[in-house]
Amino acid sequence: MQTIFHFDVIVIGAGHAGCEAAAAAAKMGAETCLVTMDMNKIAQMSCNPAVGGIAKGQIVREIDALGGQMGEVTDATAIQFRMLNRSKGPAMRSPRAQCDRARFIWEWRKRLENTPNLSIWQDEATEILTENNEVIGIRTLWGAELRGKSVVITAGTFLNGLMHVGKTKVPGGRCAEPAATKLTHSISALGIEHARMKTGTPVRIYKTSVHLVEMTEQPGETDFHRFSFISPARPLPELPCCT
């Protein structure tokens, strides 16, 4: 049974950064492997199904200008669009889209699966392999060795992840998903310091449990404003937000 596989670039983690990194490397001609624990969670919108907003919307447009795909995926899966800060000058205006979370994942997966030179590997990266003080690849939970000239780590909240719910602490990278503790220990063993950054996610509530009549409706804009310069215009469903 083959346990050693060779690539040019190995990307650990298929969040937004990992997807862009893998797609960029593959488009440049490198044999690329994108490693993820769950192919059904590629580019998962963990915190909320929105892309853009003040300052962040400009970053998505810059990613698009550099050849990234986040803007195109957002345009293909958007269900509402708003331009924030319209009362201010053009430099202060920021695009924001609400997306279909499930379609966002599948749109990214479809694009990656159809990208030449790119393979998706469902497994957990557990160890960084080195030789003569140089990174030569990774080892996975299922015992495979993926050898590569470059290893890109985009593991996000999974590196030694810890979730807080009230006063309860639970190890994990995301709800019901394990933290990448072995990979974190492997990185530390190489003398690389790691730290944990905090992110907050609001609680989820049932729509039927909310008195929407007490809230202010925020309808989307009728004119479709694209995040990507090359996306075709399309009508959006009239799904309002409430505050």
Q: Domains in the chain: how many in total?
A: 1
Does residue 225 belong to any structural domain of this protein? yes
Does residue 22 belong to any structural domain of this protein? no
Does residue 170 belong to any structural domain of this protein? no
Does residue 189 belong to any structural domain of this protein? no
* pLDDT band of 75, cuts 50, 70, 90: very high
Does residue 80 belong to any structural domain of this protein? yes
What pLDDT score does 225 carry?
A: 72
Q: Is the pLDDT of residue 222 over 80?
A: no
Q: Considering only CA atoms, which of 52, 54, 111 is closest in space to residue 78?
A: 52
Tell me the whole-structure pTM to 2 decimals: 0.93
Q: In terms of residue numbers, what domain contains 232?
A: 50-99+205-243
DSSP 99-164: E-HHHHHHHHHHHHHTSTTEEEEES-EEEEEEETTEEEEEEETTS-EEE-SEEEE--GGGTT-EEE
* pLDDT band of 191, cuts 50, 70, 90: very high
Does residue 198 belong to any structural domain of this protein? no
Does residue 157 belong to any structural domain of this protein? no
Does residue 194 belong to any structural domain of this protein? no
Q: Is the pLDDT of residue 238 over 80?
A: no
